[in-house]
A and B are shown apart, each in its own frame.
Chain A
């Protein structure tokens, strides 16, 4: 079976493993699915059952973020080594970021990031027993870190907020167009960065107002979100 199965599950259902296995290696998401002693998959949540070449999981509204390779995340620096930065993803995991992993960095010319700053990076490697790895090198452009125009860099100034995961991941999926931010940009100018682990960074004069609007917009539908922004059109300063 090549395509993804579309199947709704309730918690506590059992499916035998041999009917599902594609290839010879599987990875299960431990938050969603258990494997019992008699080799059956037992579901933990209600949602859409997802099976792929790489993993078995359930799509629902999770509380904690489970990382995958080639995700773009906003991380906070909690410690420093002679070789690595220790970065916090926000769900209890700490990942490594090599100090030389910036474009055009040498031993004498590398960025000096303090503890407590925020960085926009992408996930390279996952590991259960060792710490995973991040990187700030953009494979599509060759701008050096000194210019400050690279996509993955330290975030200076601005405000950061934590939002529910399903709202942030729907902003990033390719099916919905960024109409919410286009509507805000008619009234004021700002700079925004969205991380897949549920964090958003906004820089500008109206940053605090935009963040409070986003917090209220999270449980609403798209039309209601646009109406809410138009109500506050007079409050923007720019």
Chain B
């Protein structure tokens, strides 16, 4: 079995060797910065990671997430998929009140837009300053995809830009709904 290196562990003294992916140089020595096994390729030392890395995040990528909690002026979202690729770690994003929709931002009521437990589709707009990313749903095709009715606890499907319909009981609730893609049905 090959030896597994952990972040911060010393690999070798630098003797005309170059550092590749997953390593860094400090005081003429090469250290590892990722968890993985060693690969040497023509004087290039790199580390092959032992678990899957997250998909690449760029500004403007589409994100599917679930709502953790809400406040008066912002929504906290846990990110599940980036551009269709599943995410293995725990990443959070923040959706602010001015980014939810384009018109009538002052008259917005949070319990008529998003509630905890909803699954939403959003777009990333900036990396932010701390561990959280900033998201936005200010388009027709972004918003709530699936949700649970509060009283009957059953699945709801979209009815209009503003309302969702509970399938089994016929009751309605208000959310900010995403426009479904009609071209795929034909």
Q: Does B92 contact A (CB under 8 A)?
A: no
CB-based contact B173/A129 at 8 Å: no
CB-based contact B171/A129 at 8 Å: no
CB-based contact B72/A129 at 8 Å: no
Q: Does B172 contact A (CB under 8 A)?
A: yes
Minimum C-beta distance from B172 to chain A (A): 5
Chain B residue nearest to A39 (CB atoms) is: B169
Minimum C-beta distance from A66 to chain B (A): 15
Chain A residue nearest to B174 (CB atoms) is: A25
Q: Is the interface of A mostly helix, strand, loop or mixed?
A: loop
Q: Does A21 contact B (CB under 8 A)?
A: yes
Minimum C-beta distance from B173 to chain A (A): 7
Q: Mark B53-66, 1 if CB is under 8 A from A, else 0.
A: 00000000000000
Docked pose: A21 CA to B115 CA in angstroms? 23
Q: Does B71 contact A (CB under 8 A)?
A: yes
Interface residues of A in 78-134 (CB under 8 A from B): 127-130
Minimum C-beta distance from B152 to chain A (A): 6
Q: Does A2 contact B (CB under 8 A)?
A: no
Minimum C-beta distance from A123 to chain B (A): 16
Q: Does B168 contact A (CB under 8 A)?
A: yes
Interface residues of B in 134-186 (CB under 8 A from A): 150-153, 168-173
CB-based contact A17/B111 at 8 Å: no
CB-based contact B172/A35 at 8 Å: no
Partner of A17, one of B69, B70, B169: B169
Interface residues of B in 86-136 (CB under 8 A from A): 110-111, 115-116
CB-based contact A21/B170 at 8 Å: yes
Minimum C-beta distance from A13 to chain B (A): 18
Interface residues of A in 18-50 (CB under 8 A from B): 18, 21, 24-28, 35, 39
CB-based contact A127/B170 at 8 Å: no
Minimum C-beta distance from B54 to chain A (A): 30
CB-based contact B72/A130 at 8 Å: yes
Contacts A18-B169, A26-B171, A39-B169 given; indicate if A129 touches B151 (C-beta within 8 A). no
What are 13 A-B contacts defined by CB distance under 8 Å?
Answer: A18-B169, A18-B170, A21-B170, A25-B173, A27-B151, A28-B151, A39-B152, A39-B168, A128-B111, A129-B111, A129-B115, A130-B70, A130-B72
Binding site for B on A (CB under 8 A): 17-18, 21, 24-28, 35, 39, 127-130
Binding site for A on B (CB under 8 A): 69-72, 110-111, 115-116, 150-153, 168-173
